[in-house]
C-alpha cells in the first residue's frame, strides 16, 4: 500500500501562551507524512525546499521511513516560511506572515514510482498544485484534499476544479460556510457534497468533527486533551490520521470512514500537546491504543 503526500515543508515561527519557537520544522507535508508513518509503510512525499532547509529536517523524515524521491531542493532558493500567534483562546490564531518562497514556482513532477500510488493526500496548498499532482497519479483509490479560507477566497475557480477530481474534502466549519455561502452547517454540507467530493469532513476545533456523505453522517467530539500547547499542524495531523487509517485497511466502507474520523481526531490530539512536530514524534503504539480505548469509552452510546 502506498500513500502519496503533497504539501508544504516549512520553517515555522510559532507563539502560543505556552512559549515561542523560531524556524522549527513544519508544513502540511511534514505533519502528514510523520503521522501517516505510524499506519502506512510506503509514504511518498512530494514537495520543495530551499537550500536553507536544515539537514536534520531531512534526517527526521528519512528516519520515519518517508520516501523523499519526490522532494525537490532548489539551490539558492528559500524554504517556505510561516509564522502564527495563538492568543489566550487557542481556538483563534493570527497569521503573522506566510512566505511561499520556493513554493511560488513549484511545478510538481512525480517520480514514476509515485504515479502508482493508491492513496493520495493533498495537503493544504494551492489548488492548482493539487490538481497537477492528481493528474499524474494513474489509478488512485482515494484522494483526500485539505484546503483553507485563503484558497476559497483567492482561488475559488481553481478550487472548484480540484473539488471535482477528489473524493474527500476536509475543511473546518467556518470555511465550509464560506465555501457554501450558507450560515447553516448542515445545509453547507449538503451544498458542498454537490460540488464534487463524495465525502465531506468538517472539523469544528474543540467541538469535534463530522463526516457527511449522501448516505450517512457521523459526528464525534474532540478528544478531551487538557494539555493544548500548540495547535499548529493539528489540521494536517487530522487529515493524515484520516487517510492513513483508510490506507492501512486498504478498503473503504462506512465503518472504515467512521473509524478513520476517530483516528484523525486522536492524531490531532497528540499534535496539539507539543510545540511544532514534537507532539507527534515517537508516538508509542500503546499510547495510541490507550487513547483510542479511552475515546471509544467516551463515544459509547448508552443502551436504549
Q: Summarize as ranges the residues that interact with a copy of itself (CB under 8 A).
A: 88-91, 183-187, 190, 204, 206-208, 210, 216-221, 224-226, 228, 254-256, 258-259, 262, 296, 298-304
Residue closest to 4 by CA, chosen among 27, 48, 50, 36: 36
Residue 230 Cα distances to 15, 20, 60, 75, 149, angstroms: 8, 10, 20, 32, 20
**In terms of CB distance, is 81 or 203 closer to a copy of itself?**
203
Q: Which of 1, 70, 9, 55 minimizes the C-alpha distance to 34?
A: 9
Residue among 141 and 218 whose Cβ is closer to a copy of itself: 218
Nearer to a copy of itself, 76 or 302 (CB): 302
Cα separations (Å) of 255 from 169, 259, 293? 18, 6, 17
Helix (H) or strand (E) run with residue 22 in it:
strand 19-26
| Distance of closest approach, residue 242 Cβ to a copy of itself, in angstroms | 14
Cα–Cα distance for residue pair 215/149, rounded to 1 Å: 27
Q: How far is the CB of 5 from a copy of itself (least distance, A)?
A: 25
- Residue 15 C-alpha cell reads as 507563539
Q: Pick between residue 9 and residue 260 the one whose CB is nearest to a copy of itself.
A: 260
- CB-nearer residue toward a copy of itself: 107 or 303: 303
- Give the integer Cα–Cα distance in Å for 42 and 107: 23
Nearest approach, Cβ of residue 217 and a copy of itself (Å)? 6
Q: Minimum distance from CB of 147 to a copy of itself (Å)? A: 21
Tell me whether residue 138 or residue 254 sits nearer to a copy of itself (CB atom): 254
Cα 276 to Cα 65, 129, 261, 295, distances in angstroms:
20, 25, 22, 24
**Phi and psi (nearest 5°) for 289?**
-60, -45
CB of 110: closest distance to a copy of itself in angstroms? 33
Find the shortest distance in angstroms from Cβ 188 to a copy of itself: 11
Amino acid at each position: 500500500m502506498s500513500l502519496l503526500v503533497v504539501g508544504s515543508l516549512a520553517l515555522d515561527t510559532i507563539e502560543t501562551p505556552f512559549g515561542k519557537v523560531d524556524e522549527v520544522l513544519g508544513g502540511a507535508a511534514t505533519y502528514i507524512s510523520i503521522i501517516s508513518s505510524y499506519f502506512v509503510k510506503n509514504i511518498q512525499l512530494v514537495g520543495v525546499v530551499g537550500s536553507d532547509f536544515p539537514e536534520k529536517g531531512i534526517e527526521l523524515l528519512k528516519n520515519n521511513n518517508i520516501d523523499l524521491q519526490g522532494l525537490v531542493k532548489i539551490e539558492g532558493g528559500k524554504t517556505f516560511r510561516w509564522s502564527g500567534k495563538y492568543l489566550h483562546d487557542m481556538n483563534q490564531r493570527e497569521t503573522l506572515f506566510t512566505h511561499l518562497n520556493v513554493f511560488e514556482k513549484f511545478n510538481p513532477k512525480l517520480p514514476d514510482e509515485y504515479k502508482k500510488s493508491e492513496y493520495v493526500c493533498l495537503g493544504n496548498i494551492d489548488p492548482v498544485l493539487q490538481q497537477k499532482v492528481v493528474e499524474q497519479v494513474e489509478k488512485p483509490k482515494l484522494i483526500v484534499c485539505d484546503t483553507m479560507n485563503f484558497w476559497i477566497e483567492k482561488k475559488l475557480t481553481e478550487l472548484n476544479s480540484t473539488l471535482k477530481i477528489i473524493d474527500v474534502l476536509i475543511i473546518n466549519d467556518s470555511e465550509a460556510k464560506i465555501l457554501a455561502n450558507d450560515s447553516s452547517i448542515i445545509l453547507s454540507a449538503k451544498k458542498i457534497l454537490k460540488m464534487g467530493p463524495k465525502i465531506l469532513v468538517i472539523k469544528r476545533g474543540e467541538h469535534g468533527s463530522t463526516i457527511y456523505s449522501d448516505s450517512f453522517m457521523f459526528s464525534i467530539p474532540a478528544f478531551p486533551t487538557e494539555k493544548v500547547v500548540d495547535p499548529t499542524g493539528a489540521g494536517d495531523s487530522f487529515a493524515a490520521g484520516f487517510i492513513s487509517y483508510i490506507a492501512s485497511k486498504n478498503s473503504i466502507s462506512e465503518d472504515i470512514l467512521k473509524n478513520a474520523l476517530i483516528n484523525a481526531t486522536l492524531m490531532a490530539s497528540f499534535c496539539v500537546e507539543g510545540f511544532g512536530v514534537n507532539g507527534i514524534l515517537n508516538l508509542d503504539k500503546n499510547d495510541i491504543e490507550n487513547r483510542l480505548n479511552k475515546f471509544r469509552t467516551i463515544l459509547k452510546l448508552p443502551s436504549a
